[in-house]
Amino acid sequence: MASERVRYMSDSSGEEQGPKPKSAWPLSLYIATVVLILGCGILVKTIGESTAISDPRSDDDTVIYDRHGVELGRFHSEINMVPVTLENMSPILVDAVLTALDPDYLKLDKIQTWELVSPILNGNSKQDLPSITQLYLRLEDGVPSSRTAALREASKAIHLERSYPREALLEQYLSQVPLGRDSFGVEAAALSWYGRSAKDLEIGQAAHLASQMARSAWRQGPETSGHSILNQLHEAGLITEREAVNQRQALLEGVLIPDRTAKPIKPAVVDVGVMPTLEKIYGALADQYGKETLVKGDVTIVSTLDLDLQRRVARIANTTVSTSEIQQLVIVVLDDRNQLRAAYGTGDLSPEETGLGPLQRIAWSSKLTDLEIFNTPDDFSLLQLAELHSLVARNGVKYETGVLLEISDRSGQQVDRFSHRVSEKFDFRTITEIANELDDLLTIDDNIGVSEGQVRVRGKLGGDDERNVMWYGGASARFAVALWMSYPLEDTTSGEVEGSQLGNGREAVRVAGTIFSELHSDG
């Protein structure tokens, strides 16, 4: 019994005095490292081998056509990306870029492993300073947002650095990096910022451009101003102290040329008023696809505009203004699905910017104010007047007004196709009552009228005595038209005002008749 007790105590003592088990985390770290290395190796063979440096090209124009394939204009009137070799860059620019981004990039032949592994381990790529190879990959892929994405980036970077010299990767990066003012690559940026080629940049300009790259490369990093880069260049012995002092002063005085604020829009035809419509198309596409797509020429656009009709409407407007007392005349034409066919204003006025006043001033029926057709009843535009008459003529069906038919990519593959879209439908009986209060348009043209075989147009005349303006809106089965005309403001008696308004009203109706006759010249 005693021996059993002794043996038990001995065993118990042995268990207490034995070596404690080692922590498992070093083993886990070792296993994770092995898995990571194997994973990188597999990904380098699979994903990496499918990665190659892109072939940068000079940008093409984004061409906008009318609905019949006639060129209306182009987006990208300036040079926004021009591939350039390192030999055609200022040596101080290359030095400034390396100093700002990755000083040892061209000095090291081996792959910088930690920059690739760190984002995989901590899952946050934004805290690490990337290599230029990584920055090049991020031009297309963006900053990795997960460990998987970081592992994918690492595999691509390893393959690129095994396959290409770093000088080639640096050259590719400098030819494509976005640098503000809608410019991509150092050559386009040098022209945009400084008005000179990248090979002719001075020290301060090179430092400023390098600071732009560093600022976009990382949000949380070292000081990236042009002054700090000048200091680094001086400390590295790449520029003298006098050069550093002089270039700091140059930076203070400004090394830039004024920014071109105009949109990169170049009409293919002049004197027919397509610029407001091109601006509308540019704004809509920039919001949807981004400016980069437009200025690089990656898409081709077909609009709803009919250039031949646009020319005819412009001719009618200009002839009317030149042969009458009318100062300004604006015309907008929509088809039966609210696709914009023509829009012209003398003096480059736009239908969307031509205000008529509150809806109560335009409404010919009290029922219109109760429908809540538009969101801005206090500032009714000429375009909205055309939309209103289109809605009434289409029995209460409201179509969204469109300016685009289709978008294709550079290869001709259709990216998007725009068809008419019904945004709202209103009570048929109410719309019929509103339509009954419209007037028939009567002209000397036998094609327009109320008789059998004629095209019937229903519309309404309006005006503002204080501003001495008149407008007309109306629609046929195929088109809706709105026009606005202004006259000189003169001191007149009430009787003279009434007489002039009658005359101006007849003139507005006459112009409307001329437009509808042109629209239905084919029957």
pLDDT tens, residue by residue, 255-312: 566 665 556 788 888 889 999 899 888 888 887 777 667 766 678 899 999 999 999 9
CA dist., res. 283 & res. 404, Å (int): 12
Alpha-carbon distances of 440 from 352, 359, 365, 444, 521, rounded to whole Å: 26, 22, 16, 13, 18
CA dist., res. 396 & res. 371, Å (int): 11
CB 170 within 8 A of CB 86: yes
CA dist., res. 498 & res. 496, Å (int): 5
Q: Which of 166, 186, 195 has its CA nearest to residue 259?
A: 195
CB 474 within 8 A of CB 409: no
Q: Which of 272, 265, 97 has its CA nearest to residue 167?
A: 97
Local structure of residue 370 (DSSP, 8 states):
G
Instruction: Give me the domains of the chain, ranges plus CATH numbers.
Output: 80-253 (1.10.3810.10), 304-519 (3.40.710.10)
DSSP sequence for 24-85? SHHHHHHHHHHHHHHHHHHHHHHTGGG-------PPPPEEEE-TTS-EEEEE--S--B----
Average pLDDT along the chain: 82
Q: Which residues contact 6 (CB under 8 A, 6 or more apart)?
A: none
pLDDT tens, residue by residue, 335-356: 999 999 999 999 878 887 788 8
Local structure of residue 19 (DSSP, 8 states):
P
9 pLDDT tier (thresholds 50, 70, 90) = very low
Sign of CA dihedral 333, 335, 336, 338: negative
13 pLDDT tier (thresholds 50, 70, 90) = very low
Q: What is the pLDDT of residue 49?
A: 56
| pLDDT of 195 higher than 60 | yes
Local structure of residue 504 (DSSP, 8 states):
H
CA dist., res. 461 & res. 389, Å (int): 12
| Helical pair 147-163 and 25-46, crossing angle rounded to 10 deg | 50
> Once rounded to an integer, what is the mean pLDDT over residues 506-515?
94
Among 115-129, 347-361, 383-397, the range with the most confident prediction by mean pLDDT is: 383-397
> Once rounded to an integer, what is the mean pLDDT over residues 67-71?
95
Q: Which of 454, 463, 498, 502 has its CA nearest to residue 483?
A: 463
pLDDT tens, residue by residue, 44-62: 555 555 566 665 555 577 8
